[in-house]
Homo-oligomer: A and B are copies of this chain.
Amino acid sequence: MELTLAQLAGQLGVELRGDGEVRVSAAAPLQSAHTGTLSFLANPRYRRHLKTTQASAVVLAEQDAGDSPVPVLVSDNPYACYARAVALLYPQETVSAGIHASAMVHPEANIDATARVDAGAVVAAGVQIGPAVQIGPGCVVGEGVVIGQDSRLVASVTVLAGAQIGRRVILHPGVVIGSDGFGMALDKGAWLKVPQLGSVQIGDDVDIGANTTVDRGALQDTVIEAGVKIDNQVQVGHNVFIGAHTAIAGCVGISGSTRIGRHCTLAGGVGLVGHVEIADNVHITAMSMVTRSIHEAGTYSAGTPLTKNTLWRRNAVRIKQLDTLARRVSDLENKL
Contact = CB atoms under 8 A, between A and B. Distances in A.
Contacts of A295: none
Interface string A247-288: 101110101000000010001110101010000000011111
Interface stretch (A12-20, A62-70, A127-135, A232-240): A232-240
Contacts of A210: 176, 179, 213, 215
Contacts of A191: 227, 229, 245, 247
Nearest to A307: B320
Most buried by B among A28, A42, A172: A172
A154 interface: yes
Nearest to A183: B83
A48 interface: no
B245 A189 contact: yes
Interface string A101-125: 0101000000000000011101010
Contact of A140 (B87, B102, B155, B253): B155
A151 B122 CA distance: 21
Contacts of A317: 305, 323
Contact of A79 (B194, B300, B316, B319): B194
Interface residues of A, number: 128
Contacts of A156: 140, 156, 158, 176
Given A187-B80, A309-B299, A325-B329, A250 B182 contact: yes
A209 to B, nearest CB: 6
Contact of A325 (B185, B294, B307, B326): B326
Given A219-B28, A289-B286, A192 B307 contact: no
Contacts of A80: 185-187, 192
A179 B174 CA distance: 10
A182 B335 contact: no
Given A185-B77, A253-B250, A255-B268, A286 B291 contact: yes
* Copies assembled: 3
A298 B309 contact: yes
A284 B29 CA distance: 30
A302 B155 CA distance: 37
Most buried by B among A136, A205, A219, A314: A219
Nearest to A195: B86
A1 interface: no
A290 interface: yes
A305 B320 contact: yes
A94 interface: no
Given A173-B179, A285-B309, 20 more contacts: A79-B185, A83-B185, A104-B120, A170-B180, A172-B180, A174-B174, A189-B245, A190-B205, A232-B235, A255-B286, A267-B273, A268-B271, A292-B306, A300-B307, A303-B312, A304-B316, A315-B322, A322-B322, A325-B325, A325-B329
